[in-house]
Amino acid sequence: MTIFKPVVLERAYSTPDVVEQRACIRAKLVARRGEHGLDVGCGPGFLVCEIARAVGPPGRSVGVDVSAEMVAAATERARRSALAERTEFAQGDATELCFSTQSFDFVTAIQVYEYVADVQRALAEAHRVLKPGGRLVVMDSDWDSSVWRVDDRERAGRVLKAWEAHFVHPRLPAELPALLARAGFELVSTSVVPLLNLHLEENTYSHGMIDVVARFVSRKAGIPGDVAQAWADDVRSQEAKGRYFFSLSRFLFLAERSGTRG
């Protein structure tokens, strides 16, 4: 289960790093005017609203999230963006979608399945609600690919290993091709979307994540508070030395639902 609150995601999703990531997702999806789409794990609704603009008034952009807070935040975002008429939000689970069979032209699931215990069931649900030939766009991170430059690498290794407890599947991308095939999808394309920060600037993804990681590992993953804080200080100290570096690889999959399976 994600620990993120709407205000945390609002900040992260507004950074140029994640704005560019969503542009990559939309380019992979190619939403067309009049289509109906579902975003599983929609969070505060950034992608749903962007897709709503692409599908236009004849189309429909729907978001579902397990968190009532996220659904409320997404609904408010759509209202402020004058998109309430072509968007819809509901509370629900990726493994039990509250929508009719074959009701969507596409489904997106961005940084979601790594938090879901039964990914195969979640993919089966995405398959069920898609029309034959419908598109599924999935993005998840491989946390083995994460790099934060530090002086104390042993301590950093302990912290980042503990951080993996935040996820059910911290290395999901390598498993997804086989999981997609078993769910009845044909894999069309795969690409890597890197998050890369060479400076510790407030308007970057990694800036906000330092405290998120330190807080989680000290409160929920057995790392002493002083060790977590020392790691965070170590990461931040690299900027003054001209050595700051953060990188994380996210993997973007486009798959199609076969027309022959239920």
- How confident is the model over 111-167, as pLDDT tens digits? 999 999 999 999 999 999 999 999 999 999 999 999 999 999 999 999 999 999 999
User: Across residues 213-223, what is the average pLDDT?
Assistant: 96
- pLDDT of 19 > 70? The answer is yes
- pLDDT of 2 > 90? The answer is no
Q: What is the pLDDT of residue 153?
A: 98
Between 33 and 6, name the one with better pLDDT. 33
| E runs forming strands in the chain | 36-40, 60-65, 87-91, 104-110, 130-141, 147-148, 185-197, 246-257
- pLDDT of 219 > 80? The answer is yes
Domain boundaries, the chain: 6-142+167-195+247-257
Residues 226, 214: Cα–Cα separation, whole Å:
10
- Asked which of 2-6, 190-194, 212-216 is least confident by mean pLDDT, the reply is 2-6
Q: Determine whether domain 6-142+167-195+247-257 maps to CATH 3.40.50.150.
A: yes
Nearest CA among 113, 120, 108, 146 for reference residue 247: 146
Mean pLDDT, all residues of the chain: 95
- pLDDT of 1 > 50? The answer is no
- How confident is the model over 45-62, as pLDDT tens digits? 999 999 999 999 999 999
Q: What percent of the chain has pLDDT over 90?
A: 93
- pLDDT of 64 > 70? The answer is yes
Residue 246: pLDDT band (50, 70, 90) is: very high
Residue 41: pLDDT band (50, 70, 90) is: very high
User: Across residues 221-249, what is the average pLDDT?
Assistant: 98
Q: What percent of the chain has pLDDT over 70?
A: 97
Q: What is the pLDDT of residue 3?
A: 56
Q: What is the pLDDT of residue 260?
A: 54
Q: What is the pLDDT of residue 192?
A: 98
Note the Cα 236 to chain centre separation in Å: 25
Give the C-alpha distances (Å, rounded to integers) separating 173 from 25, 29, 91, 138: 16, 18, 26, 9
DSSP state of 99: S
Nearest CA among 134, 110, 145, 111 for reference residue 188: 134
Residues 117, 121: Cα–Cα separation, whole Å:
9
| Residue bearing tokens 């931040």 | 236
User: What region does 60 belong to: left with phi over 0, alpha with psi -120 to 50, or beta?
Assistant: beta
- pLDDT of 44 > 50? The answer is yes
Q: What is the pLDDT of residue 6?
A: 74
- pLDDT of 89 > 60? The answer is yes
